[in-house]
Structure 1
Amino acid sequence: MIKAFGQTDIGCVRKENEDDFCVFSNAHEDWIAAVCDGIGGSAGGEVASKIAVRTLKEAFEKAPEFMKDSQVNDWIQSTLNKANDAIYYKGLHSDDEKGMGTTCVGAIITGDSTYIFNVGDSRIYADYTEGLVQMSEDHSVVARLLRSGQITPEEAKTHVQRNTLTNALGIWRVFQIDIHKIDPGYQYLLISSDGLHGYVAHDDIQAIVENQDLDVKTKTEALIARANNAGGYDNCTVIVLENVKE
Structure 2
Amino acid sequence: MSHQYVLEFAALSDIGRVRKHNEDAIVVCSDYGCAVLADGMGGYKAGEVASAMTAKIVADYLCAKLDSAWYTKFGFQSIHLSRWISDAIHLANRQVVQTSQENPECFGMGTTVVVACCTQDKILFAHVGDSRAYRYRNHALVRMTEDHSVLQEQINAGLISESQARFSTIKNLITRAVGTQDNIEVDLSVHQADDTDVYMLCSDGLTDLLADDQIQDILRQYEGDLPTCCRALIDYANVAGGFDNTSVVLFKLKAVSGPSWMKKLLFR
Tell me if TM exceeds 0.5. Answer: yes
Aligned to 1:147: 156
**Using the alignment, how far apart are the partners of 1:202 and 1:120 within structure 2?**
18
Amino acid at match of 1:79: A
Aligned to 2:264: none
* Shift of residue 59, structure 1, vs aligned partner: 1.3
Cα root mean square deviation, aligned: 1.5
- Residue 161 (structure 1) aligned with residue 163 (structure 2): no
Aligned to 1:5: 10
1:114-173 superposed Cα distances (whole Å, 9 cap, x missing partner): 111110000000012261100001000000100110122243223232110000100011
List aligned pairs for 1:64-75, cutoff 5 A. 64-65=68-69, 66=73, 67-75=76-84
Q: Which moved more, 1:210-219 or 1:143-152?
A: 210-219
Give secondary structure in 1 for the equivalent of 2:17. coil
Structure possessing the higher radius of gyration over alpha carbons: 2
* Shift of residue 52, structure 1, vs aligned partner: 0.4
- Residue 23 (structure 1) aligned with residue 28 (structure 2): yes
Give secondary structure in 1 for the equivalent of 2:228. helix
Query: Contact conserved, 2:222 with 2:228, CA < 8 A, in 1?
Result: no
> Which sections of structure 1, spanning at least 5 residues, go unmatched?
none
* Shift of residue 35, structure 1, vs aligned partner: 0.8
**1:86 corresponds to which of 77, 80, 95:** 95
**Using the alignment, how far apart are the partners of 1:172 and 1:213 within structure 2?**
39
Q: Which moved more, 1:7-16 or 1:61-70?
A: 61-70
**Using the alignment, how far apart are the partners of 1:197 and 1:226 within structure 2?**
11
Q: Which moved more, 1:145-154 or 1:112-121?
A: 145-154
**Using the alignment, how far apart are the partners of 1:19 and 1:62 within structure 2?**
23
1:15-50 superposed Cα distances (whole Å, 9 cap, x missing partner): 000000111234xxx310121000113111100000
List aligned pairs for 1:120-199, cutoff 5 A. 120-129=129-138, 131-185=140-194, 187-199=197-209
Q: Which moved more, 1:8-17 or 1:179-188?
A: 179-188
1:183-236 superposed Cα distances (whole Å, 9 cap, x missing partner): 212510011000001101211111121225741100001101111111110000
Give secondary structure in 2 for the equivalent of 1:239. strand
Aligned to 2:19: 14
Query: Contact conserved, 1:187 with 1:244, CA < 8 A, in 2?
Result: no
Give secondary structure in 1 for the equivalent of 2:104. coil
Aligned to 1:32: 34
Give secondary structure in 2 for the equivalent of 1:142. helix
Aligned to 2:260: none
**Using the alignment, how far apart are the partners of 2:214 and 2:253 within structure 1?**
21
**Using the alignment, how far apart are the partners of 1:213 and 1:129 within structure 2?**
11
Write out the 4+ residue segments of structure 1 that deviate beyond 3 Å after TM superposition.
Answer: none
**Using the alignment, how far apart are the partners of 2:57 and 2:43 within structure 1?**
21
Aligned to 1:54: 56
TM-score (norm 2): 0.86
* Shift of residue 103, structure 1, vs aligned partner: 0.4
Query: Contact conserved, 1:117 with 1:178, CA < 8 A, in 2?
Result: yes
Give secondary structure in 1 for the equivalent of 2:9. strand
State percent identity of aligned pairs: 32
